[in-house]
Amino acid sequence: MVQLVKTSRSHRENREFKSHWAHQQNDQMKFKKLIVLDKHTFSEKQQEELKKLAEKFEIYNDIPQTNQEIIKRIGNSDGVIVNWTSLGKEVFDACKDIKYIGVVATGYGWLDVPYAVKKDIVVTNVPAYSTESVAELVFGQLISLMRKTHEAETITRSGKFEQTGLQGRELQGKTIGIVGLGNIGKRVAEIAQAFGMNVIYWNRTRKPDFENKGIKYSDLEDLFRQSDIVTVHLASTPETRELVGEKHFSKLKERSIFVNMASGDVIDENALIKFLEKGKIKAIFDVYENHKPKETFIKNKNMLLTPEIGFFTEESLNRLNDIAIENARSYLEGKIQNKVATAIRQDEKEQEKIEDY
C-alpha cells in the first residue's frame, strides 16, 4: 500500500519552523550562503538574480568527482542548487547547515530524498519545463532514423546523387507504445496522433481522459509486443530503476525501434545491448546511466545517440532556470513551490516518489 506522507511537526518544531522564517524575513529573506554546485546554464542576468537571494554566493560550472570535493564545496551553505551531482547520506551528515536543495531538473533519482526529508531539508525540482523540447526531439530522431537522413546527407556531400540504400519507412500507421504518460508522454501521444499513428500506453495509474481520445492502455509486456516503436518517459526513482529489461526487449518485433529520452537508469542497458547486437532492432538514446553512453553503445551501429540534448533548447533552458530561481525565492518567502513529493511504502518503511514525469 502506498500513500502520500504529510510531514507532521511537534509544537516545538512548529515554533522552530516559524522562528526560522521570521529570522529569514528579518534578514531580508536571504540564504546565509547559496551555492550552485555543478554544471549550469544560468545566464549572467539569472546569476545576478541568484546573488540577490544570498548574503554569500558561490557558483561552479563543473561536476565534483568525489564526496570529499562535494562536501568541501558546500561547506556551511544553507542553500544548494544542483543539477548533475549525486547527494546522499555522507554529504548530508557532513554538511549540517543545508536547509534547501533546488534541483535544476525534473528527475532526481541521484538524490537521496528520503534521507534529506529526514534531515528536514526542503527539496524542490522543476517539472514540465522541457515538455515541448523533448517531445519534438523524439520525432525528429525517429524521422532521422526511419528516413536515413544522416546517411543521405553523407552520400550527397560525397558528390553522389542517388537513392540506393536510402529507402525509408513512414510513421503513419505504425503503433507507438509510450511508457509513462506524464507531461512529456502525453505530448508525445498528441504528436503521434497528428502523424496518424496508433497510440498505446502504460502508466502506473490509468488516464481515462486520454483513453477517451483514442489512446489505449496496455500492460507493460504486451505494449512491447504490440509496438513498432517504444518510447520511455519515466522519471528516475528507486521504484523505476531498471524497470525496463530483458523480458521486455525480448517481446519487441523485428525492425522495431526503442527510444529512451527519460533517464538512463530506468533501462537495463546491458540487457538492451544484447538485442541490438543481433541487428533485429534499433534504438535512439539521449540519456544514459551515469550521464554517458557505454562503449558498447558507441560502437553499435544500430543506435542513434545524442549527448543529453532533449532539454537543450533556448526556450526550455530559460524556463528551467527561471523556475529554479523562483523555487529558491519562494522557499525564502515561506511559500514553497514545486516541493518534491514523497511517499512511504508501509511494509518497507521507505520513502519514494510517486509523481508522474
pLDDT in tens, 93-116: 999 999 999 999 988 878 999 999
pLDDT band at 11 (very low <50, low <70, confident <90, very high): very low
DSSP state for residue 291 in the 8-state scheme: G
pLDDT in tens, 62-83: 999 999 999 999 999 999 999 9
Q: What is the pLDDT of residue 174?
A: 98
Q: What is the pLDDT of residue 263?
A: 86
Instruction: Determine the distance from the C-alpha atom of residue 197 to the mean position of all C-alpha atoms in its chain, rounded to a whole number.
Output: 25
Higher pLDDT, 241 or 250: 250
In the sheet with 79-82, reading across from the earlier edge strand, the strands are 54-59, 31-36, 79-82, 100-103, 122-124
- Show the beta-strand stretches assigned E in the chain: 2-4, 31-36, 54-59, 79-82, 100-103, 122-124, 175-179, 198-202, 216-217, 229-232, 257-260, 282-285, 303-305, 343-345, 350-352
Using alpha carbons only, what angle is made at residue 289 by residues 243 and 313, rounded to the nearest 5 degrees?
105
The chain-wide mean pLDDT, for the chain, equals 89
Distance CA 294, CA 344 (A): 34
Task: Copy the grid coordinates of residue 249.
Answer: 526487449
pLDDT in tens, 155-181: 999 999 999 999 999 999 999 999 999
Domains of the chain: 2-128+314-352 (3.40.50.720), 131-305 (3.40.50.720)
| Helix, strand or coil, per DSSP, at residue 322 | helix
**Mean pLDDT value of segment 321-326:** 98
Residue 71 backbone phi and psi in degrees, to 5: -60, -40
Task: Copy the grid coordinates of residue 296.
Answer: 558498447
Q: Is the pLDDT of residue 350 over 50?
A: no
Higher pLDDT, 241 or 184: 184
**Mean pLDDT value of segment 299-305:** 97
Distance CA 202, CA 216 (A): 9
Higher pLDDT, 10 or 298: 298
Give the predicted TM-score (pTM) of the model: 0.80
| Helix, strand or coil, per DSSP, at residue 50 | helix
